[in-house]
Amino acid sequence: MDLLILSQNEVRELLVLDELLNALAEGFIALSQGRVDAPGRTQVTVPDAGFMHVMPAWRPGAHMTVKLVTVFQGNGQLGLPGHQALICAFDPATGTPAAVMDGEYITAMRTAGCAALSTKLLARKDARVLAIIGAGVQGQSHLKMLPRVRDFEEIRIASFYFTDAQGLASTNPKAHALESYEDAVRGADVVCLCTSSDSPVIRLDWLSPGAHVTSVGFSPPGGELPREVVNHGRLVVETRRAFEPAPVGCGELAGLDPAVGTELGEILLGTRPGRRSDTEITVYKSMGHAMEDLVAANLVYHRAKQEGAGTVVQL
């Protein structure tokens, strides 16, 4: 059996970000149409250390994939990433393993890509000021993805550690660091929450009328997104499974009626409206769905086959 192995550097070279945005949009349409088979993710927990999620998915025309992702927040003290992942791809006709690839970069970029897609669909057309709260991996990936969907004139970055915000801001000429979350958020047209906080990091009264808020943090039973913002804004999700208990869904949405959420795929299909006014606050809450890994990994795999990238090993 020949198995293709793709390193993180190879995945970085193979994943074309504009293609990823288009593939995610197609994936969300398929998800809302019921054409994606993706059981709810399962979790294995190591007490006082971290956890592993298992996330399988398939849709017609694609290789089956399963992502194994671990979240160990103490890894920073060891010089290791807090999130680490592998994605395995399988031939849908035979079930034969086809590839194993780094999933860390895919996870970062598909998560930010979904936030960017929500911004493309929901942010005001004249949005010019972007605030990114959090300067870790997700802050970095959002800084790469969000400017692809809006022409921001100013990008504000705030983080728990000001030096981290300064470091990230130095990578983009339109960006600057702020010490206060509140200062970063007030007056911003798009606010991206990219933290690992288990408690809210913003307040409703900081948000301008017409702001679009994205939140990708996962830290149940709490989280970075305050319930007052969820209740006040127009809520958009990847799928209504986001309202299920963790690890399938989001802690910030616990107890809410799934009917209050609109799926990204429904907006893309035109079956439910997007932004309804220039003053409406729109909110995208990410749970992280296996479909996103599926479409990204398939893009990487097929480009690798075309270009002869990676290393083939025999099992």
Instruction: Indicate the domain borders of the chain.
Output: 2-106+291-314, 114-287
pLDDT (0 to 100) of residue 42: 95
Is the pLDDT at 18 greater than 90? The verdict is: yes
pLDDT one-digit tens code per residue, 96-149: 999 999 999 999 999 999 999 999 999 999 999 999 999 999 999 999 999 999
Q: What is the CATH number of domain 114-287?
A: 3.40.50.720
Average pLDDT over the chain reads: 96
pLDDT (0 to 100) of residue 73: 84
pLDDT one-digit tens code per residue, 201-237: 999 999 999 999 999 998 888 999 999 999 999 999 9
Q: Which residues contact 111 (CB under 8 A, 6 or more apart)?
A: 138, 141, 216, 286, 288, 292
C-alpha 308, offset from chain centre: 29
How far is it, in rounded angstroms, from Cα 296 to Cα 308? 18
Beta-carbon neighbour count of residue 278 at 10 Å?
10
C-alpha 48, offset from chain centre: 25
Side chain identity at 74, as an amino acid letter?
G
Q: What architecture (CATH level 2) is domain 2-106+291-314?
A: 2-Layer Sandwich (3.30)
pLDDT (0 to 100) of residue 115: 98
Is the pLDDT at 183 greater than 90? The verdict is: yes
Q: What crossing angle do the helices spanning 162-169 and 137-145 adopt, rounded to 10°?
A: 30
pLDDT (0 to 100) of residue 77: 87
pLDDT (0 to 100) of residue 237: 98
**Buried-exposed string 41-74: b where 16+ CB fall within 10 A, e elsewhere:** beeeeeeeebebbebbbbbeebbbbbbbbbbbee
How far is it, in rounded angstroms, from Cα 29 to Cα 97? 27
pLDDT one-digit tens code per residue, 52-102: 999 999 999 999 999 999 999 889 889 898 889 999 999 999 999 999 999
pLDDT (0 to 100) of residue 213: 98
pLDDT (0 to 100) of residue 244: 94
pLDDT one-digit tens code per residue, 21-39: 999 999 999 999 999 999 9
Average pLDDT over residues 247-273: 95
